[in-house]
Amino acid sequence: MDSVTQFDLLRDGVAHAENGLGQGKLDSLGGLSNGGKPQPGELPLARRPSGGKVQFILFARMPAIPCARYCCLAAGEWFRVLDSSDTGVTADPRPLNADTMWQNALSDETPGEAEPRFIPWHELDVPLPHRGARCWGYALTYPEHRRETVNQAPFRFLKQGSVAAHTEPIPYREFLDFELEIGLLMHAETPDRFGYFLANDLTDRGLQVEHYNARDPAPGFTLAKNFPGSLRAGPLLAIGDASLWTEITASLTHGDVARQTIRAIDCHLDPVRLHRELFLEHDADPWLLAITGTSGGTLFRSPQIRERFMALVSSGLSIKRARRSWLRGLSFLAPGDKLVLDSPLLGRGETRVV
């Protein structure tokens, strides 16, 4: 949720993010598997065709770190996820209480004897037991996104409004952009436990550019990222400790184009730090949400030096008109566009702009 809109055509040149930030390991990938079948702990990632036949299947290995995954239906029913695929999840059919689920997530639990329940992805609702929790967004936390925008220190801003399900259609608006992020659910009394989920922080780049202030960017970000349906969450909630953070990866596809890949280990932040800082300032809140920033690949990008100069000249030396002209030269989300968010751990969500 952190595409920066700095467009100071008169002063700053193109900034470059620091090298070496967030260097870390990739999720392990299984190669040739046992007859094309997943090994224990693996999920299908991609098929590689050869001559019309599947030559082999590539698998993404689930983290060995203890965690439990949960899903929620629109009626407020919670279930523990046993497995997942491209089409949905297999869940323990016994419904759960959201509060006890948080406390017992990492305890050993034997699946019931009843037949597991299959639930398609599109039937899953927002995987947050406390949707009304105060939410903070973070900007400029990934080095790749800083290289595409501006080299400015990370900051946070307030998110407001309700959270929408990952499958809800996205109402079209001008200059609409996506931001793939990893969300965190935190409780004040459990600093060693975190809920992880996929988030899409939809952003109105027109408002963001118009109201951007380099000295105090947070208010402009709050304005550009708080329209109805701007925050999408789901489909799964993975509960684990802080070590799970380094294993999380996700991708976003726009139409047929793979636009974003995010690895939590590259983020400037970590769950323990976020929990400590946020609850220090908001000790009266039992629950808090954090949206931890996006990586490269958004539709918006900052202009290069020559582009800034040309936009300024063609706009009669008006920065306001130059900013608007630059935005109109970029391609943003349009009616009919499809977005797919996918993570081996946090699930798969698909929606369209209407």
- The set of long-range contacts for 74-82, using a CB threshold of 8 Å and a minimum separation of 24, is 74/123, 74/125, 78/129, 79/117, 79/119, 80/109, 80/111, 81/236, 82/111, 82/116
Does 24 fall in a domain?
Answer: no
Contact (CB, 8 A) for 203 and 177? yes
Domain that holds residue 41: 29-62
| Domain contains 239 | yes
Q: In angstroms, how far is CA 89 from the centroid of its own chain?
A: 20
160 and 259 inside one domain: yes
Q: Give the angle 145-133-209 at the CA atoms, nearest 5°.
A: 35
Name the phi and psi angles at 260, rounded to 5.
-135, 140
**Domain count for the chain:** 2
CA–CA separation, 127 and 291 (whole Å)? 14
Please, what is the angle between helix 319-328 and helix 305-314, to 10°? 110
Residue 51 and residue 148 in one domain: no
Cβ neighbours for 248, distance < 8 A, ≥ 6 positions apart: 182, 196, 263, 264, 343, 345, 346
pTM: 0.81
CATH of residue 158's domain is 3.90.850.10
The sign of the dihedral angle between the CA atoms of 324, 330, 336, 338 is negative
d(CA 266, CA 257): 22
281 lies in the same domain as 139: yes
Task: Give the pLDDT of the chain (354 residues) as one tens digit per residue.
Answer: 443 333 332 223 222 222 233 333 323 333 333 344 444 444 443 333 334 433 333 444 556 678 999 999 988 899 999 999 999 999 999 999 888 889 888 776 666 678 999 999 999 999 999 888 999 999 999 998 888 877 788 999 999 888 999 999 999 999 999 999 999 999 999 999 999 999 999 999 999 988 988 899 999 999 999 999 999 999 999 999 999 999 999 999 999 999 999 999 999 999 999 999 999 998 889 999 999 999 999 999 877 777 777 777 777 777 777 777 788 889 999 999 999 999 999 999 999 999
Q: What is the CA radius of gyration of the chain?
A: 21
Tell me if the bond preceding 116 is cis, omega within 30° of 0. no
